[in-house]
Structure 1
């Protein structure tokens, strides 16, 4: 299997030299050359902290929130670890699947009896969703609420049918919105801006038992009425599971014919390559523009690394479990960073990794952070330096990228994602490096979990960093003050 290649370099473990014109540079380079068998692995990164390149887009959103289940069990409360990733926004989809027995988020679980009076507060159950959303807010994460229901992998289907009474569905959705944004029925006044209508109607009966045209018409009717009631909020969808030109044009074209609002278009993709995920944002922008929606935001609100493609679903249980474990590993952590860096130069407005919690696709295993957790944390750390600055590279391998930013105090952070790059020696030439009083280097590789591996005071540079992992992530912070 592909994950065998992860083991080829385990005997190499770790090599890092961060030097400022010291006598150790030659020894470090010699050791690195031994590792790479004489291949040219030299990369130069130039950073210009005083040259703005716009804003860093916080595309490091997620799916789900710290689960309520087992919160009081020792070691099971994930709120602190979740907050440590600095997730700017999280999408609430499939929440009941991670919280068995709880009536969370989904409209059929909040309003359980479709025959009941939609204006009677006694017919709604908000308590567990209240707590779930409160966890998000306490962690500093904005909520992105999916209106509808979770995926149903069961043989029989229960809540994924087209609503029989769309007007009543809109009334129920409206009361949920008012409970969380207007304080209705002992509710809250949260700033929840994004409300997604449904999820993956093109997946088939696991998410929608009607036709796609039925869904497109349902969306147009529901979105139009909700926008009338809440013109200050953003409504969109549909979370297409198979991105493609025809799907986008059919959906957006139908919206246009009905003059329906489409504040954001959402879709999903689990990809083996970074370039696919970057190109999809470009294509989505073109399709939406041509359908008459040039202002519609583009949200890839489920995504993950999947080097196996469709073969993943044909594996036996043991083989699939091993593959999923690999997709939570170091190669995946580097992949998610290079993709989020690449998205900075595409029309994508928001990204939502699936998932940032304890699910099979998550960033924890047995409530313990895995490599993808630290990958998300690395990008989250960078977003504290939101003013993007210009960078240049020479010899950067395909699939690897760099992003740098400064904060309001002039401190600098640099993030390098090395996806399947092999061992490399980096030279970082930072303009004005002597003005920084402190430099710290953090490494995510086979033996380090975004650990600080080097620290120095004022230096003249350049910095030299050598890595031996097939994939990895480097985060460098330079501070004006000690």
Structure 2
């Protein structure tokens, strides 16, 4: 449903409704056009029978090169096709959207066309200060690091993370339970974890060594801790016999141990406070992290939250890291477990400081849709105007935090996974997602992950398909940079030097030619334009400001793709920019002279 919703949104951008007539083929069709004459057709096949269709327009032709978007059970994301004719096949239970410029036929074959070499630049309007949230947010978090998992050829990524501007780290997936209650509090029983049959107040039952080393590495590197309480998916050295506390005794002991963890690291080396955000749990609901019922988790989470909030009121405490599947459900208007969790909190008068959710997706629009939907769910507005807390204001100021995000690998072959994990396609997708979150209600975001556990640039696509290649850096002895790491450095340049967000066409419409564009300025009048081209085509464009054009500025251009690392500026001249397919650019516009 969420994917189909994205097609509805595209359709809504063509408000001038057109009359449609078609045969008795079982299809439902809606047609419209926008002020520029672009035509959109929304086609639904609610039957179990595939069929074919062809669009014919009265008094006009459909130009070749139309784009067809499709949602079906065959893919977990919106599929995109280029059509050479206005004819297509539509499968059973499938939704399609055809978008193409519709023009009147030329008066005669002798009409003169512009030369093929003349490239007309898309003009992208840059508006004033973003009214809803005018600040560029420091969404510069990563998961894991700087110390790598035990089997990684590189021990420490501190220098690399500092170089690209990582500001904060969330602990997860070191694969040895460091900084997790599983590894820290252990009664030495026959199971692992071992949380029963011993005194959680007895310091002899705590094992701090690896966790102390990791926490100190965060502070030594200048990374703000985002401390997550809750287990990893697995311990490589010692298998988890169960996931999460299994009874009331274990729950009580776990909560005591959590207090010990928080107190130790909050006041590390006598500090008044070393961190601000505390995270209870991750990846819920997921049997690899909590293997009891959802109802049992709700009760346990409230107990942990209330106990920790009472002792540490200065901390912003939240969770539970709702899984990506739940996020897609919420974006589609189906509240699911997320709504049930909030309902339980509301019934018990418990208000978290923030709500954490995850998203792994290859369509950047989903970040904006999900953020809007979660805010509606919390506020009881929009799609969620019928929740019990609607109109009460109970959750109104709860922050939204994306405490795990990245690209998606499902239903991608080896070559495609290699492209999104290790090459410029992945850099462009991650950048577009980061841009989408800047123009949303998201306050913090943590990219999964800092470094691959073990990998190298020469690995085959088949190895990539089987392994963990989700990091910004390869897991080799050098911690080799991937294009996504270089793109992250451009993000941090924007966040550090250009604090005021300006409006741009997002999600991209025809004016943006498919580009995701963030604009921001500083007090010196300089402007930063961060651009992600997630399409397979080069795009030539120029920004349009109120009373100014690109030629009125001194332009410095940085580019990240498979051939450029964005460290040194590229030569630039002219009145338009060409952004290569699947690349990231940063333009710095300063005064001339």
TM-score normalised by the shorter chain: which range applies? Answer: 0.7 to 0.9
1:295 to 1:480, Cα distance in 2 relative to 1, 3 A: same
Matches within 5 A, 1:148-187: 148-152=230-234, 157-164=240-247, 165=249, 166-183=251-268
The alignment status of 1:454 with 2:537, answered yes or no, reads no
Question: Is 1:44 aligned to residue 123 of structure 2?
Answer: yes
Q: Is the 8 A contact 1:179 1:187 kept in 2?
A: no
**How far 1:51 sits from its partner (Å)?**
9.2
Distance 2:493 2:417 in 1: 28
Q: Who is 2:184 aligned against?
A: 110
Over 3 Å counting, the alpha-carbon distance change for 1:324 and 1:216 in structure 2 is farther
Deviation at 1:329, TM superposition (A): 1.9
Say whether the 8 Å CA contact 1:62–1:356 is kept in structure 2: yes
The match for 1:376 is: 488
User: Deviations 1:24-68 (Å, cap 9, x if unpaired)?
Assistant: xxxxxxxxx99xx76966223455799997111222322112125
In 1, the alpha carbon distance for the partners of 2:283 and 2:150 equals 30
Matched, 1:289 2:379: yes
Of 345, 367, 370, the residue aligned with 1:277 is 367
- Aligned residue for 2:456? none
Q: Contact 2:169–2:226 (CA<8 Å) still a contact in 1?
A: yes
Q: Is the contact made by 1:341 and 1:402 (CA closer than 8 Å) also made in structure 2?
A: yes
Once residues 41 and 107 of structure 1 are traced to their aligned partners in structure 2, the CA distance between those partners, rounded to angstroms, is 59
Matches within 5 A, 1:303-322: 303-306=405-408, 308-309=409-410, 311-312=411-412, 319-320=413-414
Q: Which of 199, 224, 231 is 2:306 aligned to?
A: 224
Whether contact under 8 Å (1:86, 1:141) holds in the other structure is no
8 A contact 1:236–1:261 mirrored in 2: no
Q: Hey, what's the Cα distance between the residues in 2 that align with 1:301 and 1:326?
A: 20
Aligned to 2:144: 64
Residue 471 (structure 2) pairs with residue 362 (structure 1): yes
- 1:473 and 2:584 are equivalent in the alignment: yes
In structure 2, distance between residues paired with 1:341 and 1:125: 41
Q: How far apart are residue 135 of structure 1 and its match?
A: 2.3
The 2-side partners of 1:41 and 1:397 are apart by 13
The answer to whether the Cα contact below 8 Å between 2:420 and 2:427 also exists between their aligned partners in 1 is no
Partner Cα separation in structure 2 for residue 139 and residue 194 of structure 1: 18
| Mean CA deviation greater in 356-365 or 38-47 | 38-47
Flag structure 2 segments of 5+ consecutive residues without an equivalent: 1-74, 76-113, 188-194, 330-334, 381-388, 454-467
The alpha carbon displacement at 1:322 in A equals 6.3
The 3 A distance-change label for structure 1 pair 352 and 50 is closer
Where structure 1 has 5 or more consecutive residues not aligned to the other structure, the ranges are 3-32, 313-318
Distance 1:271 1:370 in 2: 19
Separation (CA, whole Å) in 2 of partners of 1:392 and 1:352? 24
Which residue in the other structure is 1:8 paired with? none
CA displacement at 1:90 relative to structure 2: 2.0
Matched, 1:80 2:142: no
One of 259, 274, 280 as aligned partner of 1:197: 280
**Would the aligned equivalents of 2:500 and 2:522 in 1 still touch at CA under 8 Å?**
no
Matched, 1:352 2:468: no
Q: 1:83 offset after TM fit, Å?
A: 1.0
Deviations 1:89-146 (A, max 9, x none): 2211122x2xxxx551111211122343323333322232222222223333211111
| Aligned with residue 172 of structure 2, among 93, 100, 103 | 93
| CA spacing shift, 1:267–1:352, aligned 2, 3 Å | same
Cα distance, 1:86 vs structure 2: 1.4
| Helix, strand or coil at the partner of 1:450 | coil
Asked whether 1:120 is paired with 2:120, we answer no
Q: Which residue of 2 aligns with 1:27?
A: none
Could you tell me which residue of structure 1 aligns to residue 32 of structure 2? none
Residue 513 of structure 2 contacts residue 539 of structure 2 at CA under 8 Å; is this kept in 1?
no
Q: Which of structures 1 and 2 has the bigger CA Rg?
A: 2
Residues 242, 291 of structure 2: 8 Å contact kept: no
Aligned length: 426
TM-score by length of 2: 0.64
Look up the SS of the partner of 2:134 in the other structure: strand
Q: What RMSD over aligned residues (CA atoms) do the two structures have, in Å?
A: 3.4
Quick one: structure 1 residues 44 and 85, their matched pair in 2 at CA, closer, same or farther if it must change by over 3 Å?
A: same
Aligned to 2:340, the other structure's residue is in SS state: helix
Higher relative CO (Cα under 8 Å, sequence separation at least 6) belongs to: 1
Q: CA deviation at 1:451?
A: 3.8
Distance of aligned partners of 1:144 and 1:454 in 2 relative to their CA distance in 1, 3 Å threshold: same
Contact 2:183 2:207 in 1 (8 A): yes
Separation in 1, partners of 2:513, 2:290: 39
Tell me, yes or no, if the aligned pair for 1:71 and 1:77 is still in contact at 8 Å: no
CA 1:151 to 1:371, structure 2 compared with 1: closer, same or farther past 3 Å?
Answer: same
Relative distance call for 1:481 and 1:116 in structure 2 (3 A) is: farther
CA contact (8 A) 1:48 1:389 kept: no
User: Is the contact made by 1:397 and 1:421 (CA closer than 8 Å) also made in structure 2?
Assistant: no
8 Å CA contact 1:197–1:235 kept in 2: the answer is: yes
Given that 1:201 and 1:238 are in contact with CA atoms closer than 8 Å, whether structure 2 keeps it comes out as: yes
Give the structure 2 partner of residue 316 of structure 1: none
TM-score, scaled to structure 1:
0.78
Which of the pair is proportionally richer in helix? 1
